[in-house]
A and B are shown apart, each in its own frame.
Chain A
């Protein structure tokens, strides 16, 4: 059986499983429809939330970004897990006590203002749409490889599948489907990692293997990795090379963005009790940590494997891999398959029949290259987003593992993309059209507007996904920055301060959102259209602060503006102060209800 058929079996099989569970769970629980969510144990809810939350950014993209940068990209690891501490301590229990279903409802009620609710919905739509662009990038990579077509065709096919998946949408609400998706996703991520860790370090736990010894040379894996990459003129893997302030702000943006993303927060509205909301956040992080403790090992080990494959004769002095070897040796088949997607490429620039991979921007390497007759790095393209999907092929693992990884990557990207599209469509139809502009809209009209909103969102995301503002995880990081600057401060001030009034909250959210959005557009192009940017992240507007790190500054602006404006305007009414007091204590939390 060839690889294509095996991939098809795994991807098809996993989708049949999700649909099967959705039908089974739906049939069994019709009578308890309105009690949905109440019977869900915090562990099960945690697993489902983890599946919902881990997207193409975590699964497909993150390890690749860590692999090619090393320590400096630890921000992704700390940022996307540290946010759960904020969520568990500062938001989840209180929002559960409040007892409504959506984030914008809380903001609308707490700040006793229809305007606040609409502004929150707009923030939600902006952040979610940016998030979907990142998912579409991942979907394009996965479908491109899996169907063996170029990236653009893969993206267009993927967009159709995501749309169908989202319209079929009921599946999203079924907790057990998400539990199945989590199991597929985590198995697909850890099995190849275990194989590779055993090959390189002899340790079956990748997270421990990362700090173990390289079996071939007997020195610690990370020491070995530092040696082989610095030899080629690249920055060492374990040292700190980037700007410290930017790294701190980037990590902080990802953390507060995590706690401000509506589709994650929503999961904590439906747990049975306030105490369960606290436990649930912990269990969610347990299931996320299983992937996040493995990811740094995946990145480091893949970087070592790739470097050694390009220099198979004992490093830079032993001679580079021959063009012929890449074409003929089955160990290098992955390079030919990925070349078809247009995301990996090489070129024998100096015509010596070999492919020299090195850092041609390093002055020392340029001297060495002149001596040896090299005319530049010949591994001309290595898209970071292909690393995790290509990893089992690079390590020569059995074909069923490759099929499994394809199924896992698609599960991660599709479930999150579909979930976000549902959130956008309900925000437009339910919160904006029905809630604000036309309260007497028929149920049919509401459904139609939801579908139209979904279609518009996917067209926009696909169009921008063709020329994405960055790799999947970087685009998603921008979405987190937007959520950090707009939603999180409003929620936190709504719970922890009675002083913040309607005007203050609206001014704060608008200031945070606008300043962050403008900063991002100045660096990534207006509305992410390539070529319309004034600055680049290599040379940002404000000192070392890149557009991906600006969310933390935006959040500070939001807090400051809200405090100043609230101080100058009318005090919060007594009834709202009582609402805040009641949200702070768990007693009396009924079942969450729609309004």
Chain B
């Protein structure tokens, strides 16, 4: 185990996963739910459009997926880099 975690692959692997996750997090909420809603207005969902669904339900489901994916993936990265809890 390296003394300085910033210089090893573990921390940069973590930062990479966090960045990807946060891009998706922003895309489904601020993106599909608000700013990009006009672009999605052509896709009908139950009397309204896809953007409305993302704003009221879709984003929440994606948030759940992100957190569980991150937990699963990071716990694996912990083991690969030998920094998991014994």
Q: Residues of A at under 8 Å CB distance from B? A: 71, 74, 77-78, 81-82, 84-85, 88-90, 93, 207, 210-212, 219-224, 226, 238, 240, 244, 247-248, 251-252, 255, 273-275, 278-279, 281-282, 285-286, 289, 292-293, 296, 498, 581, 584-589
Contact = CB atoms under 8 A, between A and B. Distances in A.
Contacts of B57: 77, 207, 210, 293, 296
A251 B84 contact: no
B40 interface: no
Contacts of B37: 240
Given A81-B60, A221-B47, A282 B68 contact: yes
Given A220-B47, A285-B63, A289-B64, 18 more contacts: A78-B33, A84-B67, A85-B21, A89-B18, A89-B21, A219-B47, A220-B46, A221-B47, A224-B47, A238-B47, A251-B30, A278-B71, A281-B71, A289-B61, A293-B61, A581-B3, A584-B5, A586-B78
Given A74-B56, A248-B35, A587 B67 contact: no
A247 B60 contact: no
Given A273-B85, A274-B85, A285-B67, A292 B60 contact: yes
A256 to B, nearest CB: 12
Nearest to A93: B74
Nearest to B45: A211
Contacts, number: 146
A261 B25 CA distance: 20
Contacts of A281: 67, 71
Determine which residue in A255, A282, A585 has the highest number of CB atoms from chain B within 10 A of its CB, and name it: A585
A226 B70 CA distance: 39
B60 A85 contact: no
18 contacts: A77-B57, A88-B70, A89-B70, A210-B57, A220-B46, A238-B49, A238-B52, A244-B35, A252-B30, A273-B85, A275-B85, A279-B71, A293-B60, A581-B3, A581-B5, A586-B78, A586-B83, A587-B82
Contacts of A89: 18, 21-22, 66-67, 70
B61 to A, nearest CB: 8
Contacts of A93: 74
A82 B67 CA distance: 10
Contacts of B34: 240, 244, 247-248, 251
Interface in B22-60: 22, 25, 29-30, 33-35, 37, 45-49, 52-53, 55-57, 59-60
User: What are the nearest 10 A-B pairs in CB distance?
Assistant: A211-B46, A220-B47, A222-B47, A278-B71, A74-B55, A223-B47, A282-B67, A296-B56, A238-B48, A585-B83
Contacts of B49: 238
User: What's the dominant secondary structure at chain A's contact region?
Assistant: helix
A82 B45 contact: no
Contacts of B45: 211
Nearest to A286: B64
A278 B70 contact: yes
A274 to B, nearest CB: 6
B22 to A, nearest CB: 7
Contacts of B53: 211
Contacts of B11: 584
A74 B29 CA distance: 10
Contact of B63 (A85, A584, A586, A589): A85
B29 A586 contact: no
B86 interface: yes
A463 to B, nearest CB: 36
A589 B78 CA distance: 13
Contacts of A293: 57, 60-61
Nearest to A212: B46
Nearest to B15: A496
A141 B3 CA distance: 56
Contacts of A219: 47
Contacts of B63: 81-82, 84-85, 285
A211 to B, nearest CB: 3
Contacts of B46: 210-212, 220-222
A66 to B, nearest CB: 8
Contact of B71 (A275, A292, A296): A275
Nearest to A208: B46
A77 B70 contact: no
Contacts of A220: 46-48
Contacts of A296: 56-57
Contact of A587 (B1, B14, B30, B48): B1
Nearest to B29: A78
Contacts of B4: 581
